């Protein structure tokens, strides 16, 4: 019987070192109480923040100090809860930390409306009086830019207080999908029982036995059908909250509001969707090659994750994966390489799946901690790439916090997904250049193609789905489970035209947790496009291009995303990087096609 181990069964060296933050939960409690008391210090300055330069500097520095402490308290509680989402004690701790974060945001909510009473010239005069305010120049520029969408201090405080409520749908969904839902156990061709989980579902769809894949696929999605109306209600209210918050801030649409935060024009979103739709023929060709490789009359939805090599691929144990990754990062310089190697040896990573563990993967930690990476490593090439991806996020954070003050450490997702995907592209290049085994090389090339398919194409499909869902809500149309299925099923039919669209795949939207962060997923698509352009530049220009890229990482959020990417040599205001990435996808697809014939 194949089963997921309890956390206590995982060797300590393969778990993250949360004791480096707080040595015990009692220490966390003390830190929580201490910073909770400090939150009130901010409120004392309400109505006085911009009275003079000295007060403004005091207020901004105090806010940063408090937010740094709150973020560490929150991060620890969240990660403890993610170790086992069924642990009620850590769920309660995480909820308290979330409430504390909301309280801190509420206490600080008066700052930006008061800053917006200043003119640019008045702020510059304050900088002359208190040179320390120069640190906040870009931050203030951003605040002043948002003045048309910022409400009074009273309303901003109310909106901050409501953040915990408006974000509740995501928490409900997370508890449902990770803690309360259970999926069937199926028997594989060897007679072994295999428990389907959120973490291993896609991996099971790569098994060579087609009937087994069908059984996994149907069993998994049939479980979702039992909670279909619950998930639809959850997502409907998440969309409604996005729309209401956008309206509260004087935006015409929720999409405009989401993209305006990082100062990304909606044209960037539209360019992405247009370029991808203009290149669906390449995705259709990929699907047709899968059908031929599988030697079937029709490609079914449970066939989509099968590699073109028609088997599961080689095992890549975790320790081997870390070696490949570190070697692949050589073009970024010895210092970058050694930092990654040291981190991997210092328990940055919580490696393996355990009972109740949060599914998926992420890079966490705070300005005052080491990075922490949650994985559910499955001993395969895909997991190796995911590890490389998350290490890109972690190193971005490390380089940023070394060079930037706290106010610029929380870089925008638009640029964050570049760092992660640069690592993936470098790993692909390294493996194709150094590994001689032809089967391994085919699987690496297949992994590259699947990453582009699932990132550039699939995430753009998701982007179209959530854009349409929000548009319907904004126009007053009801978002029922049937309507959401209809939207998603229609997109799936267009994107995967050569495949058979069955009656289960329209429910796939229900299993995507990223939809609870509105207009987030498109940045994976723009990110991979920018990353491939950066790696091309490093291949062509060597150390100089690598240094430009590292400088981009070091700048954190000190500039707006499109400006930052120009430092790395990429212009995302045009469709050129997207079109080039799609050309690379097509070229690699032909390359693997030739190897297989």
Catalytic residues: 390
Rounded alpha-carbon distances, angstroms, from residue 42 to 4, 71, 432, 577: 46, 16, 55, 44
Comparing CA positions, the residue from 123, 142, 141, 160 lying closest to residue 42 is 160
Residue corresponding to tokens 């009359």: 297
Helix (H) or strand (E) holding 401: helix 381-403
CB 187 within 8 Å of CB 286 = no
Closest CA to 563 of 119, 116, 141: 141
Q: Cα(first)–Cα(last) distance of the chain, in Å?
A: 39
**176 and 230 Cβ atoms separated by less than 8 Å:** yes
At 284, which helix (H) or strand (E)?
helix 280-294
CA atoms in the 13 A half-sphere facing the CB of 167: 13
What does the alpha-carbon distance between residue 329 and residue 217 come to, in Å, rounded to a whole number? 36
Phi and psi torsions of 372, nearest 5°: -135, 135
User: Is residue 107 exposed (0-12), middle (13-18) or buried (19+ Cβ within 10 Å)?
Assistant: buried
Of the candidates 156, 153, 120, the one whose C-alpha atom is nearest the C-alpha of residue 136 is: 120
Q: At 182, is the secondary structure helix, strand, or coil?
A: coil
Task: Please count the other Cβ atoms lying within 10 Å of the Cβ belonging to residue 463.
Answer: 23
DSSP SS3 for 282: helix
CA nearest to 387, candidates 360, 407, 405: 360
């Amino acid at each position: 019987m194949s089963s997921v181990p309890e956390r206590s069964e995982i060797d300590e060296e393969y778990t993250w070192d949360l004791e480096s933050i707080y040595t015990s939960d009692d220490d966390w409690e003390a830190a929580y109480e201490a910073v909770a008391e400090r939150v009130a210090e901010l409120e004392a300055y309400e109505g006085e923040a911009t009275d003079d330069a000295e007060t403004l500097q005091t207020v901004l520095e105090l806010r940063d100090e408090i937010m740094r402490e709150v973020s560490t308290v929150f991060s620890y509680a969240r990660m403890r809860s993610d170790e086992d989402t069924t642990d009620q004690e850590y769920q309660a701790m995480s909820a308290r930390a979330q409430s504390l974060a909301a309280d801190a945001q509420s206490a600080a909510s008066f700052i930006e409306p008061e800053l917006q009473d200043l003119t640019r010239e008045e702020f510059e005069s304050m900088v002359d009086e208190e040179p320390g305010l120069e640190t906040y120049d870009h931050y203030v520029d951003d605040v002043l830019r948002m003045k048309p969408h910022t409400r009074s201090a009273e309303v901003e405080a109310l909106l901050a207080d409501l953040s915990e409520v408006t974000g509740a749908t995501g928490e409900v969904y997370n508890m449902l999908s990770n803690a309360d839902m259970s999926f069937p156990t199926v028997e594989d061709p060897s007679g072994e029982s295999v428990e389907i989980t959120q973490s291993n579902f896609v991996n099971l769809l790569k098994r060579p036995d087609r009937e087994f894949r069908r059984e996994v696929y149907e069993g998994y999605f049939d479980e979702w059908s039992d909670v279909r109306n619950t998930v639809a209600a959850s997502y409907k209210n998440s969309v409604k909250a996005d729309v209401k918050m956008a309206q509260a801030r004087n935006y015409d649409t929720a999409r405009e509001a989401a993209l305006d935060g990082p100062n990304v024009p909606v044209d960037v979103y539209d360019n992405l969707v247009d370029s991808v739709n203009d290149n669906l023929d390449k995705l259709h060709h990929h699907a047709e090659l899968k059908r031929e490789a599988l030697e079937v009359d029709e490609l079914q939805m449970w066939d989509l994750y099968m590699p073109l090599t028609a088997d599961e691929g080689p095992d890549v144990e975790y320790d081997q994966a870390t070696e490949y990754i570190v070697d692949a990062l050589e073009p970024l310089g010895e210092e970058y390489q050694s930092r990654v190697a040291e981190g991997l040896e210092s328990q940055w990573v919580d490696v393996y799946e355990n009972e109740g563990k949060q599914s998926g993967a992420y890079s966490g930690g705070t300005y005052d901690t080491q990075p922490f990476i949650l994985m559910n490593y499955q001993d395969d090439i895909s997991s190796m790439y995911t590890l490389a991806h998350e290490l890109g996020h972690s190193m971005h954070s490390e380089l940023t916090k070394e060079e930037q003050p706290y106010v610029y450490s929380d870089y925008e997702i638009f640029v964050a997904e570049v760092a992660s995907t640069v690592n993936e592209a470098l790993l692909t290049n390294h493996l194709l250049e150094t590994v001689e085994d032809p089967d391994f090389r085919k699987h690496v090339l297949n992994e590259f193609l699947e990453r582009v398919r699932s990132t550039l194409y699939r995430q753009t499909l998701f982007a179209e789905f959530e854009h349409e869902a929000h548009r319907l809500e904004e126009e007053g149309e009801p978002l029922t489970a049937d309507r959401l299925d209809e939207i998603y099923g229609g997109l799936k039919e267009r994107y995967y035209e050569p495949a058979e669209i069955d009656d289960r795949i329209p429910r796939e939207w229900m299993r995507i947790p990223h939809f609870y962060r509105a207009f987030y997923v498109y940045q994976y698509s723009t990110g991979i496009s920018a990353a491939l352009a950066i790696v091309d530049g490093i291949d062509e220009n060597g150390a100089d291009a690598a240094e430009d890229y590292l400088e981009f990482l070091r700048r954190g959020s000190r500039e707006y995303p499109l400006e930052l990417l120009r430092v790395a040599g990429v212009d995302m205001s045009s469709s050129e990087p997207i079109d080039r990435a799609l050309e690379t996808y097509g070229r690699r697809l032909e390359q693997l096609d030739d190897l297989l014939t």
